[in-house]
Amino acid sequence: MEQTAESKMSFKLGVNRVQEILVLALMLVFVFAVFYSDIELMYKIGIAVLVFSIILLTGVAGQVLKQEEEKRRLRQR
């Protein structure tokens, strides 16, 4: 497979650049919410689980979209 400059710069999550920026912003918000806030430990754990699941689902959704695109491209040939 041929790699473009965009895919070489990717974090290998299987998502496009906009999604990667949103994931990085979510991680930044997570760091501030957990380390720089005065909330209970259970809320911090809940935030961590939520952020992790969103990042995981974003990666899975990106991979599914790539596979569907590849299937369409192969059918057109």
Q: Report yes or no on 63 lying in a domain.
A: yes
Residue 5 lies in a domain: no
Q: pLDDT, tens digit, for every residue of 19-47?
A: 788 888 888 888 887 888 888 989 888 98
Please determine, for residue 4, whether its predicted confidence score (pLDDT) is greater than 60.
no
- Count of structural domains within the chain: 1
Looking at residue 53, its amino acid is S
Instruction: With respect to residue 8, please indicate whether it lies within any of the assigned structural domains.
Output: no
- Higher-pLDDT residue of 12, 76: 76
Indicate whether 2 belongs to any domain.
Answer: no
Residue 10 falls inside a structural domain:
no
pTM score, whole prediction: 0.65
